[in-house]
């Protein structure tokens, strides 16, 4: 087999997409939008789910994160299957699985079934996501790729941003079950449209063997990595703080070391072994999940690093802000959704206009501008959050952040895949999607960990001077932390009725203040990753300039 770099030099006339191709793009974009929406729609409904299903903070993180964890573990495998069996087939199969998972999630009455249903949804989404991007990459070539990827990127960022508004509206006016039930009619309509319009592209490369070992190593590696970040605050980063049980086996609190560093070691080791194994599969000319030659394209490497950092920052914000708005500020779910919709407002506006900016500053320059706006918006937001900050004031930096998100996402996808040949577009698309999902899972995990650790420090400090003794203060602080702040609205209602005593108002105010302080630290964690993304985008710009220069020399 020729190398990826060599195959990218194939020449030919660029086919003009037909009207049917553009309609197919719309169908694929809507299908993508549904699964991206589902990754963020849960956030604003989470307080209602926590109260109804009795979730603790760790359960809440897994409801949000398991979706992204399984996507990260499965996307390389499903991208390969899409290349081999046909991307249209995988797209439709994924929608059917996703619909089934949505139905199970809507019917769930406790943490276990809900988390399990989210896992089924993730399996379906893992079939859908690489199929959409690789189909777009295969159908739209030459000058038509930029607007096609612009649509794909704008839908991805816009759907992620509008999720909180949709979640707030459905939960407020119906119930949280409807954030899942709505997927059923939407999914069926998309399947019908896809059968009529979407072409069934596939890779022309066929190698022997199924890379089962690679699939297991990637799933174990990425899953263990995210597990360690999510569970660290509860199970202990080094010394066990409580028992951990899974499938009947127990890692006791009395063990010499926590299960968290063990999981972290397993995750890192599995990822290293995965890379070595994929290199071996390529060397012996067997089918591999990941063609490491893709990373010989510097635009692909730096673009993926940038995308990962953006996803960490984005999902950290989406996880922590709904909890702050509903618990610390006492807003209802619709009010929180409206404030978070400021991100969607900015993302839709900038996503639609990104190509005009790209015409002047280039795609890489537009990504740089977008990430700069994201950093500024998040920094301002971090210093604005407080126990009594007006909602409209929170919305202003979110608009700025959304503008940046739309600009960066709309142009980043096309830049990352610009030099990748069609025959390996499935693997490349799946790799990019995997990187994004790892980022989103880690974003929720890091934000949840930062929030949990910060709450353990800020809540006891805030409760000083409220008249509670040390034991009562510690117990209340821990209950608030475990409930992800869900205890604060309950106490606020009790204080309003006068059933908590004379100092009830000061206790609620103290908890709200402590939660706001912890939210600030979680947002600053997001800022760190966005800054790293900005640095990555600088490198991406340099790599793209070198790539264009080489192309002009060989032309």
* Domain locations in the chain as residue ranges: 18-199+287-458+515-547, 209-286
pLDDT at 2: 40
C-alpha–C-alpha distance, residues 469 and 318, integer Å: 35
Q: pLDDT tens across 111-158, in order? A: 888 888 988 998 998 888 778 877 877 777 766 766 776 676 666 656
pLDDT at 130: 74
3-state SS, 299-350, equals HHHHHHHHHHHHHHHHHHHHHHHHHHHHHHCCCCHHHHHHHHHHHHHHHHHH
pTM (predicted TM-score): 0.72
Bridge partners, residue 251, by sequence: 244
User: Is pLDDT above 80 for 74?
Assistant: no
C-alpha–C-alpha distance, residues 56 and 476, integer Å: 14
pLDDT at 7: 42
Mean pLDDT of 7-29: 70
Where are the alpha helices (H) located in 174-258, listed in sequence order?
Answer: 178-181, 183-197, 212-235
Mean pLDDT of 473-498: 76
Mean pLDDT of 321-326: 85
Residues 6+ apart with CB under 8 A from 218: 73, 76, 77, 270, 271, 274, 289, 290
| Long-range contacts of the stretch 115-119 (C-beta < 8 A, 24+) | 115/59, 115/62, 115/63, 115/66, 117/180, 118/63, 118/66, 118/67, 119/66, 119/67, 119/70
SS3 category, 264: helix
Q: Give the rounded percent of residues in the chain with a pLDDT score beyond 90.
A: 13
CATH code for residues 18-199+287-458+515-547: 1.20.1250.20
Cα–Cα separations (whole angstroms), residue 485 to 143, 170, 268, 390, 423: 50, 22, 32, 19, 49
pLDDT at 145: 67
Q: Which of 58-67, 166-175, 376-385 has the lowest mean pLDDT?
A: 58-67
The packing angle between helices 212-235 and 259-283, to 10°, is: 160
Q: pLDDT tens across 422-442, in order? A: 666 666 766 777 777 677 767
Please name which of 342, 458, 333 lies closest in space to residue 394, comparing C-alpha atoms: 342
Q: Give the rounded percent of residues in the chain with a pLDDT score beyond 70.
A: 82
- CB 434 within 8 Å of CB 221: no
Q: pLDDT tens across 358-398, in order? A: 778 777 888 888 899 999 999 999 999 988 899 889 999 99
Please name which of 519, 484, 522, 488 lies closest in space to residue 55, comparing C-alpha atoms: 484
C-alpha–C-alpha distance, residues 525 and 205, integer Å: 42
- CB 332 within 8 Å of CB 324: no
């Amino acid at each position: 087999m020729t190398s990826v770099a060599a195959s990218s030099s194939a020449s030919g006339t660029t086919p003009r997409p037909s009207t049917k191709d553009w309609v197919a793009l719309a169908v694929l974009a809507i299908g993508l939008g549904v699964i991206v929406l589902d990754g963020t729609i849960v956030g604003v409904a989470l307080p209602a789910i926590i109260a109804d299903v009795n979730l603790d903070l760790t359960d809440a993180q897994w409801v949000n994160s398991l979706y992204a964890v399984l996507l990260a573990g499965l996307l390389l495998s499903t991208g390969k299957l899409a290349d081999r069996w046909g991307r249209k087939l995988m797209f439709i199969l994924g929608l059917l699985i996703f619909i089934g998972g949505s139905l199970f999630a809507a019917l769930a009455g406790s943490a276990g079934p809900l988390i399990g249903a989210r896992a089924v949804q993730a399996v379906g989404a893992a079939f859908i996501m690489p199929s959409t991007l690789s189909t777009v990459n295969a159908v739209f070539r030459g000058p038509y790729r930029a607007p096609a990827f612009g649509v794909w990127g704008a839908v991805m960022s816009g759907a992620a941003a509008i999720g909180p508004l949709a979640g707030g509206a459905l939960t407020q006016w119906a119930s949280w079950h409807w954030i899942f039930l709505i997927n059923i009619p939407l999914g069926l309509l998309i399947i019908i449209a896809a059968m009529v319009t979407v072409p069934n592209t596939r890779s022309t490369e066929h190698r022997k063997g199924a890379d089962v070992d690679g699939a297991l190593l990637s799933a174990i590696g990425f899953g263990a990595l995210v597990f360690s970040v999510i569970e660290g605050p509860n199970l202990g980063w080094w010394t066990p703080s409580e028992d951990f049980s899974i499938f009947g086996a127990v890692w006791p609190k009395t063990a010499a070391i926590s299960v968290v560093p063990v999981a972290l070691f397993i995750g890192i080791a599995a990822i290293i072994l995965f890379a070595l194994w994929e290199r071996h599969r390529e060397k012996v000319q067997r089918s591999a999940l990941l063609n490491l030659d893709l990373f010989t394209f510097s635009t692909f490497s730096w673009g993926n690093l940038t995308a990962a950092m953006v996803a960490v920052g984005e999902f950290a914000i989406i996880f922590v802000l709904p909890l702050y708005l509903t618990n610390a500020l006492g807003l209802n779910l619709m009010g929180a959704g409206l404030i978070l919709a400021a991100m969607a407002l900015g993302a839709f506006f900038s996503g639609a206009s990104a190509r005009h900016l790209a015409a002047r500053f280039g795609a890489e320059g537009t990504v740089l501008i977008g990430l700069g706006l994201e950093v500024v918006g998040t920094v301002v937001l971090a210093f604005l959050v407080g126990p009594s900050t007006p909602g409209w004031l929170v919305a202003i930096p979110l608009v700025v952040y959304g503008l940046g998100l739309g600009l960066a996402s709309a142009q980043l996808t096309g830049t990352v895949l610009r030099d990748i040949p069609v025959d390996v577009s499935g693997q490349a698309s799946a790799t990019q999607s995997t990187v994004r999902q790892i980022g989103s899972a880690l974003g929720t995990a890091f934000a949840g960990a930062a929030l949990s650790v910060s709450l353990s420090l800020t809540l006891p400090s805030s409760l000083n001077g409220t008249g509670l003794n040390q034991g009562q203060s510690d117990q209340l602080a821990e209950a608030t932390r475990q409930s992800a702040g869900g205890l604060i609205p309950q106490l606020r209602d009790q204080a309003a009725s006068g059933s908590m005593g004379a100092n009830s108002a000061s206790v609620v105010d103290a908890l709200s203040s402590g939660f706001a302080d912890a939210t600030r630290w979680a947002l600053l964690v997001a800022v760190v990753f966005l800054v790293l993304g900005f640095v990555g985008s600088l490198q991406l710009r340099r790599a793209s300039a070198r790539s264009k220069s080489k192309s002009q020399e060989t032309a």
